[in-house]
Structure 1
Amino acid sequence: MFNTPSAPAGATIVAFGEYQPPRVVTNADLEARVETTDEWIRSRVGIEERRVAGPEDTVASMGVAAGGKALAASGLSPDDIDLVIVATCTVTDQIPNTAATVAAHLGITAPGAFDVNAACAGFCYALGVASDAVRAGSARNVLVVGSEKLSDWVDWDDRSTCVIFADGAGAVVVSAAEEHGIGPVVWGSDGDRADKIYLRDHKYLYQEGQAVFRWTTTELYKVALEALERAGVEPGELTAFVPHQANLRIVESIARKLGAPQALVARDIVTAGNTSSASIPLALSRMVGRGELPSGSIVLTLGFGAGLVYAAQVIRIP
C-alpha cells in the first residue's frame, strides 16, 4: 500500500488573465486582399475584427503575458505554482514544450510542465486535468494557459479561413478549495471525422465548414447538457454560457438549445475572432473584467475542434 498525499475536497478557479496582440485587422482590411465583403463575413461567421500577432509575439510570449496577469490577480507568488499546463495547437516547434518556457519566464521554479493539444477544446481539457490534479493531491496551485498564434498557419489568400482565425491568450489559476468550483469534465472525440479540419500541405489550416457546422449545431448541445447534469446544475441556474468562439452562428445555435434564456452568452468572436484554445479563457477574462460575471456566477464552458474533440464543464466565478 502506497502513501498518498492528503487531498483537498475540491478545486476552483481563483483568477483570470488575458493577452491580445495590439494589431487589429478589420473586415475592410481583408476586403483589400481577398474576394470578400464585410457583409459576407458578418453574415457567415459574425466577426467584425480580429487581433493578429506581430513577429515579436509567440505562443510562449503571449502565454507569459496572460499567465502573468492571472498569477498577479491570484495573489500567489511564482513559488506557489507547482504545475503549469499550456493548451495550444499552433507551436512551430514541438520540442521544447511551451509550458516549461512560460513557467521559466514567470519565475516559477521547477513546476510540473506540459502542453495539451486538443485543438479548440484544449482549454477545457487542460482545466479538467488541472482540477483532477489538485483534487488528487498532485498539485496545490496550477497555472492553466490557452495560447494560440493561428496567423502562422493561415493562408491569407484563402477567404474561407483568413476571415476566421486570430491570435491571443487567456489564463486561469486553479487552486485547492474546500468546495468544488469546477464541475466534472465531459469530454470525448469523433475520430471518424478527423479529416474535417486539418493542415493542408502541412502548413495551412483547412476545414470543411459545412460539415463542421452541422456537427457542432446538432451534436454538441447534448455534451453541454450532460456537463450541467453531472455538475448538478439546472439550465435555469446558469449565469452565462461561454463556448469556444468558433463562429457566432454556431455559438447562438447551441445556446438556443440549452433552455437557459437568462444566461449571458459570450460573443467574444465579434471583436476577437476564433483563437482556438485561447478563446474560452480569453472571453472569460474579458467578461470578468467588464463586470459581467460577478463572484459566484455559474458558467458553462464548451470547447470543440479538430480531431474532432469536445469537452465541457461548469465553473463558478471566484
Structure 2
Amino acid sequence: MTAKISPTKGAPYARILGVGGYRPTRVVSNEVILEGIDSSDEWIRTRSGIASRHWAGPEETVAEMSLAAGGKAIAAAGIDASAIDAVVVATVSHFKQTPAIATEIAHRIGAGKPAAFDISAGCAGFAYGLTLAKSMVVDGSAAHVLVIGVERLSDLTDKSDRGTAFLFGDGAGAVVVGPSEVPAIGPTVWGSEGDKADIITQTVAWDSFREGDSIRLPLDGNGEVKFPAITQEGQAVFRWAVYEMAKVAQEALDAAGITADQLDAFIPHQANMRIIDSMIKALKLPDHVAVARDIETTGNTSAASIPLAMERLLDTGEAKSGDTALVIGFGAGLVYAAAVVTLP
C-alpha cells in the first residue's frame, strides 16, 4: 500500500508587510577614507557616487544591528514577534562558522522557536532571502518570515586598497513577509555565473590562518599580517552589472507582466551610482519612477542595501505604500536575483 502525503495549505500569495533599517551612528566621510589611500573626494564621488558611509562601532554587532532593523520591520508589519515562523539572515560578515546568527536573533527578538538560518549570496542575499520567504508563505511552512540583510563590511575592508577602501558601509535592513490575497511579490529571476567567481572575492580563505600557512597570508607595509578583505576587479564588475543585470531586471518585469512605465520605484542593489544610472537608461525608466540612491550617504552595504534603500524611499515620501517596485541584487559569486514587489 502506498501512503499519501498530505499537501500543505499556505496563503494564495505573499507580500512584504513591513520594512525596517538600522544605520550605525558613526558617519565616515570621504576625507577619512583619504587618510589611507592616494585619491580625492572628487574621484570617489565621480567613480562611485559615494559621499559618506556608516561604520559600526564595537557594540553595533551583526546581531545588534539585525535586532534593531528586525524589530522595526515587525512593528511596521503590525504583528507580534511571536508570530514569526522563520528568520532568514543574509550576510557575509558574521564570522562564526556555526551556529547561524539567525538563531540568536530569533531568540532575542522574541520569536520563540522558529526556523532560523543564514544564507550567503553576497549583495544578492536579501533578494534570495525574499524569494525563500515568499515560497515558505505560499507553501504553508511559515505564515510570517523575517528576512534580514546585515553587514559589517568595514571589518572586511582593506583601508589601504585604493580600489575598494571607499566602497563599503555597515548596516542592517529587514522585512516581514506574510500572506496576501493578491499577488504582491512577482516571480524571481535569479541565477549565478560561477565562471566569474574570482571577480569579487575574499583576499584569502579563513583556513589560510592555520598554523604553518603564514606564507600564504597578505602583509601590510610593516610586515604585519592583514585580516582578509573583499577585493574585486572593478571594471569587470561594472561591465557585468551594466550589461547583464539590465537584462535580468527586464526579465523580472516581463515575468511579472509589468512594463517600465507601470513602475513606481526602482530599488537596485546600491553598488555604484554609475551602475544605477546605466540601468535606468537601459530599462528606459520614465521620469516618474522613484530611484533609490541610498549609496550616496550609506555606501555599498551588500545584503543590507536593498531593504535600507526601500525604507529610505518610503520614509522620505519618494515612494509610498502600495507602490510597485522593481528590486534587483547582484554581486559576489557572481549571483543575482530580481523581482517586482508591492511596497509595504
Aligned-pair CA distance for 1:78: 1.3
Match of 2:181 in 1: 178
Match of 1:225 in 2: 250
Question: Helix, strand or coil for the counterpart of 1:161?
Answer: coil
Of the candidates 237, 240, 245, which is equivalent to residue 215 of structure 1? 240
Question: Helix, strand or coil for the counterpart of 1:194?
Answer: helix
Code of the aligned partner of 2:162: R
* Distance (whole Å) between structure 1 residues aligned to residue 6 and residue 194 of structure 2: 38
Partners of 2:314 and 2:321 within 8 A in 1: no
**Following superposition, which runs of at least 4 residues in structure 1 exceed 4 angstroms of deviation?**
none
Question: Helix, strand or coil for the counterpart of 1:103?
Answer: helix
Question: Helix, strand or coil for the counterpart of 2:297?
Answer: helix
Where structure 2 has 5 or more consecutive residues not aligned to the other structure, the ranges are: 206-227
Question: Helix, strand or coil for the counterpart of 2:183?
Answer: coil
Partners of 1:30 and 1:36 within 8 A in 2: no
* Distance (whole Å) between structure 1 residues aligned to residue 13 and residue 78 of structure 2: 19
* Distance (whole Å) between structure 1 residues aligned to residue 242 and residue 90 of structure 2: 24
Q: Matches of residues 89-108 of structure 1 in structure 2 within 5 Å?
A: 89-108=92-111
Partners of 2:290 and 2:319 within 8 A in 1: no
Residues 1:270 and 2:296 are matched in the alignment: yes
Partners of 1:302 and 1:311 within 8 A in 2: yes
Aligned-pair CA distance for 1:129: 0.5
Of the candidates 110, 115, 133, which is equivalent to residue 112 of structure 1? 115
* Distance (whole Å) between structure 1 residues aligned to residue 10 and residue 143 of structure 2: 9
Aligned-pair CA distance for 1:287: 1.1
Match of 2:260 in 1: 235
Match of 2:231 in 1: 206
RMSD: 0.9
Match of 2:196 in 1: 193
Question: Helix, strand or coil for the counterpart of 2:173?
Answer: strand
Percent pairwise identity: 51
Residues 1:73 and 2:99 are matched in the alignment: no
Of the candidates 57, 60, 78, which is equivalent to residue 57 of structure 1? 60
Partners of 1:48 and 1:271 within 8 A in 2: yes
Match of 1:311 in 2: 337
* Distance (whole Å) between structure 2 residues aligned to residue 287 and residue 105 of structure 1: 28
Match of 1:154 in 2: 157
* Distance (whole Å) between structure 2 residues aligned to residue 289 and residue 71 of structure 1: 16
Question: Helix, strand or coil for the counterpart of 1:257?
Answer: helix
Aligned pair count? 318
- TM-score, structure 1 length as denominator? 0.98
The structure having more radius of gyration, on CA atoms, is 2
Match of 2:209 in 1: none
Code of the aligned partner of 1:294: K
* Distance (whole Å) between structure 1 residues aligned to residue 30 and residue 181 of structure 2: 47
Match of 1:252 in 2: 277
Match of 1:286 in 2: 312
Deviations 1:158-188 (A, max 9, x none): 1211100010000000001111111111100
Aligned-pair CA distance for 1:32: 2.5
Answer with 240-249 or 193-202: which moved more.
193-202
Residues 1:143 and 2:168 are matched in the alignment: no
Code of the aligned partner of 1:227: A
Partners of 1:185 and 1:227 within 8 A in 2: yes
Code of the aligned partner of 1:55: P
Q: Matches of residues 13-32 of structure 1 in structure 2 within 5 Å?
A: 13-32=16-35
Aligned-pair CA distance for 1:259: 1.7
Aligned-pair CA distance for 1:111: 0.2
Residues 1:295 and 2:338 are matched in the alignment: no
Aligned-pair CA distance for 1:147: 0.3
Aligned-pair CA distance for 1:122: 0.3
* Distance (whole Å) between structure 2 residues aligned to residue 308 and residue 292 of structure 1: 31
Code of the aligned partner of 2:328: L
Answer with 145-154 or 32-41: which moved more.
32-41
* Distance (whole Å) between structure 1 residues aligned to residue 100 and residue 41 of structure 2: 38
Of the candidates 46, 50, 60, which is equivalent to residue 47 of structure 1? 50
Match of 2:221 in 1: none
Partners of 2:70 and 2:146 within 8 A in 1: yes
